[in-house]
Amino acid sequence: MNEISSAGTSRHVEPKMMRVLVCLAGRAGEVVTKEEIMAAVWPDTYVTEDVLLRCISELRRVLEDDARKPDYIQTIHGTGYRLIHPVTRIPQARAAETEALEKGMAVPALEVRARPVRRGLIGIVAAAVLTLALVGVYTVPRWFRTASPHRAGHTVLAVLPFDNLSGDPEQEFISDGLTEEMITELSRLDPDRLRVIARSSAMKYKGERKGVDQVGRELKADYVLEGSVRREDGRVRVTAQLVQVSDQTHVWAESFDREISGILALQGEVARLVAGHIRIVLTPGTANRLATVRPVNPDAYVEYLKGRRQWHMMTVAGFRRAGEHYKRAIELDPGYAAAWLGLADSYRMRGSWWGDLQAGDAFPVAKQTLERVMQIDDTIGEAYASLGRIRFVYDWDWAGAEAAFKRAIELAPNSRDAHSPYANFLRCMRRFDEARVRIERCLEIEPLSPLELVEASLLYTELGLPDRAEQALREALELDPESPPVLHLKTQSEARAGRLREAIQHIEEKGATTHPYMVTSSLLAIMYIRNGEEAKARAILKEMTKPGRAPPSEIAVVYRRLGDDAAYLDWLERAVSERDPSVVWLSGASAEVMGPVWDNPRFQAVLRQLNFPGGRTDTR
């Protein structure tokens, strides 16, 4: 259950938070050291005190407890914590515990109640999983990706990169684009029975000559779809073959010769044939959609595929060039929804920490473009996911963002682009258990994506699962050590482990070639400050404050590390006024985390403007 009850309503909290609370309740009135709590809640794993601090801070927020005038959890500085409110154990819970212990079982349930106090808080309920911590029985689950990613009854299909048979390397965008389009089409067939490995993981095999059996093992796939494409004089010749991994038999193979204008219909035809050979029964709605695909202007399709190739480079220049290709595609075919969506996503990325535009110059344009997508086709789940991202980081419309993410998953339950941003949103909202469900579902679809592995690592850190966090980071590093998010997380990991010099060296070596001001400068400055090299940090800060070099939120955090609260608040207020996307991560702020600046009226005004769910202002 993991619930805290108040005035007839219950609030769900994370299991680790409840284990901390139960640990304190088990010795109510006594001082419990930090070491004792961490040993009880995170046995056999190493965690820093920061993890415990976050749990205590979140508990105080839920309990509406003031750290300076506590009714519940008292901080014993330099030692630990004490639960100071009276606690009563319910007889039924005690009897259940006794019976379970006599049988050598984990305790099935425990309830701890507190008498009514101010603000109407009535009770604390902790059930099921909490008792494992109380009796000292806790087994860390295996890293989730060691098991088969698909659930019982699901068929997993991997689409390998189609070969370019044109003889012209400049035509690679055609074969890569067709691969991506086939993945998208197949993923929409029957999400309840068919899982299709997403693009990033599939494209890892481009240029590889691995056997189908090896690919199947690595991706946990039941079937592999291979193919080739040749483009000549306005026509495309596509060959596809479906292979069953278990015995490497060719289930089906066929060649198609079409005009480019019929390429979308061809994708639907291949999807329908694949479904038939792997025994996926299409619903009437899906069958009708595949049979009624609109033709596309051939030149618009080519421009669209060129845009996709540029977009996947994940660089500022790539997003800019992708937008230009999408605009040309729209000029040639104004009803081409996919091109409109690509254009929206290009603007959205250019307004993010990856990009070159201020949020106010990017996100409103992206939002307006998405409206056009939905006018053409309101069943594209990825469009709602993109809208959810904008409502999340730019509009600060928390309810609206969640509604959009849920609609995206409803329409595209097999899409990485639907689950991944929702996981990120839920982590920001401090709903870690729900975020875990989403990111693990995402990694079923996209097991070899560094971005999703970084998100998983960050989430496991919040959940107090350092072994899983480290495993996810290692896998991300193996896949793409140059990726900005991977670089960022690796540096932070080194610093948390006390290896500041290694962290600095890592970012000095790698950061110079990867968004030197937008991403890595603030992190390097902070590492210098922590290592006592303030002069170097200030030199970086001077460069960061030049126009267009770094977002205001990044400048603000460096000033805070320097202890300059006035400058921190100046730049934070500027970040809020410019709708800097990074300010949403103030959702985790608390009095203990922020220190004296928490009580500054300017900081509280910022929190009121952000208006986080549950009310994060004045939370001690």
Whether pTM > 0.85 for this model: the answer is no
Q: Pick from 3-12, 88-97, 361-370 the range whose average pLDDT is largest.
A: 361-370
SS (H, E, C) 502-533: HHHHHHHHHHCCCCCCCCHHHHHHHHHHHCCC
Place of tokens 């006592």: 532
- Can you give the pLDDT at residue 106? 39
State the average pLDDT over residues 446-455: 91
Q: What angle do CA 498, 503, 505 make, to 5 degrees?
A: 135
- Can you give the pLDDT at residue 236? 87
> Residue ranges of the alpha helices (H) in 120-259?
130-134, 172-187, 199-203, 212-219
C-alpha atoms less than 13 angstroms from C-alpha of 50 in its C-beta half-sphere? 11
Indicate left, alpha or beta for 257 from its phi (over 0: left) and psi (-120 to 50: alpha): beta
State the average pLDDT over residues 580-602: 92
Per-residue pLDDT tens digits for 218-258: 999 999 999 899 887 778 899 999 999 988 888 888 888 88
- Can you give the pLDDT at residue 95? 52
Residue 291 has pLDDT above 90, yes or no: no
Neighbour count for residue 212 (Cβ, 10 Å): 19
Cα end-to-end distance, the chain, whole Å? 25
Q: Which two tokens stand for residue 429?
A: 């909202």
Its CATH class, for the domain covering 303-533, is mainly alpha
Place of tokens 């309810």: 399
Place of tokens 């100071």: 84
More confidently predicted of 355 and 543: 543
Q: Which two tokens stand for residue 324?
A: 């230009």
Residue 564 has pLDDT above 80, yes or no: yes
pLDDT tier at 89 (50, 70, 90 boundaries)? low
Place of tokens 């009276």: 86
State the average pLDDT over residues 336-342: 96
The maximal CA–CA distance of the chain, rounded, in angstroms, is 82
Residue 589 has pLDDT above 60, yes or no: yes
- Can you give the pLDDT at residue 129? 35
Question: Domain extents for the chain?
Answer: 3-134, 155-295, 303-533, 551-620
- Can you give the pLDDT at residue 618? 52
Residue 203 has pLDDT above 60, yes or no: yes
More confidently predicted of 516 and 29: 29
Reduced to 3 states (helix: H, G, I; strand: E, B; else coil), residue 412 is: coil
State the average pLDDT over residues 430-449: 93
Distance of CA 346 to the CA centre of its chain: 19
- Can you give the pLDDT at residue 148? 36
pLDDT tier at 133 (50, 70, 90 boundaries)? very low
Reduced to 3 states (helix: H, G, I; strand: E, B; else coil), residue 164 is: strand
Place of tokens 């808080």: 121
- Can you give the pLDDT at residue 266? 86
Reduced to 3 states (helix: H, G, I; strand: E, B; else coil), residue 255 is: strand
- Can you give the pLDDT at residue 268? 86
| CA 447/CA 613 separation, integer angstroms | 32
Q: Pick from 70-84, 177-191, 430-444 the range whose average pLDDT is largest.
A: 430-444
Residue 10 has pLDDT above 90, yes or no: no
Q: Do the beta carbons of residue 149 and residue 143 sit within 8 Å?
A: no
pLDDT tier at 320 (50, 70, 90 boundaries)? very high
More confidently predicted of 123 and 586: 586
Q: What is the DSSP string of 31-68?
A: EEEHHHHHHHHSTTS---HHHHHHHHHHHHHHHT--SS
Residue 561 has pLDDT above 70, yes or no: yes
- Can you give the pLDDT at residue 428? 95
Which of 603, 588, 561 lies closest to 57, judged by CA? 588
Query: Which CATH topology does 3-134 take?
Result: Arc Repressor Mutant, subunit A (1.10.10)
| CA 527/CA 532 separation, integer angstroms | 9
Q: What is the DSSP string of 421-478?
A: HHHHHHHHTT-HHHHHHHHHHHHHH-TT-HHHHHHHHHHHHHTT-HHHHHHHHHHHHH
pLDDT tier at 482 (50, 70, 90 boundaries)? confident
Kindly state the DSSP code that residue 393 receives in the 8-state scheme: I
Q: Residue 124: which H helix or E strand, with range? A: strand 123-127
State the average pLDDT over residues 399-413: 95
Q: Do the beta carbons of residue 487 and residue 518 sit within 8 Å?
A: no
Query: Which CATH number is 155-295's, of 3.40.640.10, 3.40.50.300, 3.40.50.10610, 3.90.1520.10?
Result: 3.40.50.10610
Distance of CA 583 to the CA centre of its chain: 17
- Can you give the pLDDT at residue 165? 86
Place of tokens 């254009």: 343
Which of 514, 518, 489, 537 lies closest to 580, judged by CA? 518
Place of tokens 């890892």: 204
- pLDDT cut 70: percent of the chain above it: 84
pLDDT tier at 514 (50, 70, 90 boundaries)? very low
pLDDT tier at 97 (50, 70, 90 boundaries)? very low
| pLDDT-wise least confident of 42-46, 435-439, 536-540, 593-597 | 42-46
What angle, rounded to 10 degrees, do the helices at 34-41 and 15-25 form? Answer: 130
| CA 85/CA 162 separation, integer angstroms | 65
